[in-house]
Structure formats: structure tokens, C-alpha cells
Amino acid sequence: MYHLASGFYEMLTKKDEFNILILGLDDAGKSTFLETAKMKFTKGYKGMNLKFITTTVGLNIGEINISGVKLSFWDLGGQKELQSLWDKYYDESHGVIYVIDSNDRDRMNESKELFDRMIKNEYLSGVPLLILANKQDIVDCMGVREIKPVFQQHGHLIGRRDCLTIPTSGLTGDGVEEAIKWLTDAVKRNGILRPPKNMT
């Protein structure tokens, strides 16, 4: 009887789970964004000092429960030697966050080329895309009006998927809540085409 009751409870409380990739060049602020998101959406989570976050080598994982679903984040290292591993995660992802360092004008073209290679992959076809113009706390950084046209030059590759470009600062938290809430709604809407993990 206990097993039946616990199984029924688990079925009622089980949440749909969506896998979210966080991509972008190294030092774009991916891990800082994720840590800030966890602090904002996870009750009682203290988090680490954002100033001590270092470049991710390999994979950084995080989870957030929001709006009745669980978001599992895979923050992938952005160094050149790690970029070739990204596509191993594409077919299991439900959404992509692409993080841009708005203050790094010297590497903007490099980031754009990486973005184009990523968005062309067939396994990401139709997957919701959130583009973050990050590090907006830095004076004289590039704004969304400058960045958005650069990354939407190949709009046909983005296609009809849900797509949003917003300004953020992982360090101050500006734009983080809006970003996570938008992406949550987007992956839930897209669940018909790419169902969450616990659905068969």
C-alpha cells in the first residue's frame, strides 16, 4: 500500500524537466548569469561570491524550479578547444541561452561566427533561443541596438522559433529574472514539438 501511495504522490508532484544550454565565448559571463539566476529563483540558496567565479572548463550544471517545471542548465565552456563538444548536447536540449560579452568589441565577430555555426545545426531546429547582451553594467558597452542586427544577419537560420535578445548583467542581476521567465514560457510552448524529459 505504501509503494502505491508513494508512487501516486510522485506522479502528482513530478515536474516536467527541460534542458537548457548556456553557450557563448569564454568570459562572456555564462557562469555568473547562471549563479545569479539560481540565487534569484531558489529559495534559501546563498550562492557563491560572483567576483570569484572563474572560467568554466568543461561543464557547469545548475537547476531552477519555476512555474511548475524544472529547468536543468548545462553551462558549457566557451574556449576554442571545448566548442567542438557543444553539438553533443544539442539533441537533448529544449532551449538555448547564447551569452554575448557586450563590452568585448574585439571578439564580437568571433562570437557571431560561433553563433552562426551553432544555429545552423539541425538538432537545434525550432528550439527557443534567448540571446543575452551581457555585462550591461560596464560603461560604454555595446547596447542591444548595436548587437541585435549583428546576430540576426542570418535571420532565416533562426527561423520561426521563439527568439528574444535582451540586455543583462549577471553581476548586478539586471534582466536575469525577465530572461529566465521568458525562456520558461518559451520551452513550455515548444513542448509539443520537443517534449520535456519525463514525457514519453
Each residue's pLDDT tens digit, 37-69: 999 999 888 777 777 676 766 688 999 999 999
Answer yes or no: is 2 within a domain. Answer: no
pLDDT band at 18 (very low <50, low <70, confident <90, very high): very high
Q: Which of 79, 83, 152, 153 is catalytic?
A: 79
25 is in an annotated binding site: yes
Each residue's pLDDT tens digit, 170-196: 999 999 999 999 999 999 999 999 999
Answer yes or no: is 95 within a domain. Answer: yes
C-alpha dihedral (58, 174, 136, 97), degrees to nearest 10? 40
Q: Catalytic residue at 152?
A: no
Residue-averaged pLDDT of the chain: 89
Answer yes or no: is 4 within a domain. Answer: no
Give, as one character, the DSSP assignment of residue 15: P
Please report where in the chains the cell 558549457 appears, as a residue. Answer: 76
Q: Say what the pTM is.
A: 0.90
Answer yes or no: is 99 within a domain. Answer: yes
* Domain at 106, CATH number: 3.40.50.300
CB 199 within 8 A of CB 79: no
Q: Please report the pLDDT score of residue 199 as a whole number.
A: 47
Answer yes or no: is 25 within a domain. Answer: yes
Answer yes or no: is 106 within a domain. Answer: yes
Cell of 102: 557586450
101 is in an annotated binding site: no
Answer yes or no: is 171 within a domain. Answer: yes
Sequence letter at residue 197: K
56 is in an annotated binding site: yes
Closest CA to 59 of 17, 104, 19: 19
What is the residue range of 63's domain? 16-192
87 is in an annotated binding site: no
Q: Please report the pLDDT score of residue 48 as a whole number.
A: 72
CA angle 92, 173, 91 (to 5 degrees): 5
CB 163 within 8 A of CB 129: yes
Answer yes or no: is 28 within a domain. Answer: yes
Beta strand extents in the chain (DSSP E only): 16-23, 59-66, 69-76, 95-101, 129-134, 163-167
198 is in an annotated binding site: no
pLDDT band at 16 (very low <50, low <70, confident <90, very high): very high
Each residue's pLDDT tens digit, 114-160: 999 999 999 999 999 999 999 999 999 999 999 999 888 877 888 88
Counting the structural domains of the chain, the total is 1
- Cα–Cα distance measured from residue 146 to residue 66, given in angstroms and rounded to the nearest whole number: 32
